[in-house]
Amino acid sequence: MKWLKLFEGFESNDYYQEISSDDYILNNSITVHMPDKTKSKIDSWFSNDHNNTTYFNDVGITISFKEGFLYIYELEDEWFDVTHVRYGGPDGSGITHYKCDQLEGLRKFLTDKGFIQ
């Protein structure tokens, strides 16, 4: 009898997940060049309420807004790493890291967290 090992913690509806700072540091070693087409697509999701979109380092973009900013990097195998930095407010300040599966997962994350509609 053969046993198939399932991916740990993987469910069919997992588009994104919060990751630890250690995982974030590991992910930074596997960033890839983000094509301009991908950057433009992500940028197009944001309304005028989110200003100062900046491209950087060929691997991602920064989107800044009143309460903080997002760093979005592309990783190998069409994964995206998102760092959300909060300046303060009702939730306090802090940094949270997420890993999103493909553009679909990135868009779902941005929608679920209220960054885009």
Edge-to-edge order in the sheet of strand 94-101: 16-19, 94-101, 79-86, 68-74, 60-65, 54-56
- pLDDT of 82 strictly over 90: yes
Q: What is the mean pLDDT of residues 89-108?
A: 88
Rg (CA), the chain: 15
pLDDT tens, residue by residue, 19-45: 988 888 877 777 788 888 888 888 888
Is the model's pLDDT at 68 over the cut of 60? yes
Q: Domain boundaries in the chain? A: 16-112
Provide the token pair at 65. Answer: 């807004």
Report the C-alpha dihedral over residues 102, 105, 109, 111, rounded to 10 degrees. Answer: 110
Q: Distance between terminal CA atoms of the chain? A: 48
Would strands 60-65 and 54-56 be described as parallel, antiparallel, or unpaired? antiparallel
Task: Tell me, yes or no, if the pTM score tops 0.85.
Answer: no
- pLDDT above 70: residue 9: no
96, 83 contact by CB (below 8 A)? yes
The larger pLDDT score, comparing residue 108 to residue 45, is at: 108
